[in-house]
Amino acid sequence: DQQVKQNSPSLSVQEGRISILNCDYTNSMFDYFLWYKKYPAEGPTFLISISSIKDKNEDGRFTVFLNKSAKHLSLHIVPSQPGDSAVYFCAGPNNAGGTSYGKLTFGQGTILTVHP
């Protein structure tokens, strides 16, 4: 049962425009979400997080929005740059077994390509 889903496998945008990456979740008890970025041949790196008590968190060009009623979050990148081309994963706490112990459950990932 996929608790966190990213339904768009890929996204292509022009440099300078906005990139919007989407993520849906099923467990309304999630109390935080994270976004990770992954370049080829490297491990994922943490990008930005949001607590469930907030509906927006901003860090420079990156903003994450949380819509709890729709169980949906999105990552906005403005303006997009070619160096942002990577795979983006959303993640939430993995509470399987009752306690997360810090475990995360990841979405399938979205490949972002930013064209110069």
Residue numbers at the binding site for other proteins (CB under 8 A):
4, 6, 9, 31-32, 34, 41-46, 49, 51-53, 89, 91, 93-94, 96-97, 99-109
Nearer to other proteins by C-beta: 6 or 19? Answer: 6
User: 84 by DSSP, 3-state: which?
Assistant: helix
CA atoms within 13 A on the CB side of 73: 32
Q: Cβ of residue 79: shortest distance to other proteins, in angstroms?
A: 26
CB of 15 to other proteins, least distance (A): 27
User: How far is residue 88's CA from residue 75's CA, in Å, rounded to a whole number?
Assistant: 9
Nearest CB to other proteins, comparing residues 9 and 82: 9
- In the complex, minimum distance from the CB of residue 23 to other proteins, in angstroms, rounded to a whole number: 11
Determine the 3-state secondary structure of 94 from DSSP.
Answer: coil
Least distance between other proteins and beta carbon 85 (Å): 18
What the block records as the tokens of 18 is 């906005």
Asked if 63 and 50 touch (Cβ cutoff 8 Å), the reply is: no
* Nearest to other proteins of 32, 65 (CB atom): 32
Bond from prior residue into 9 cis (ω within 30 degrees of 0): no
CB nearer other proteins, residue 4 or residue 86 = 4
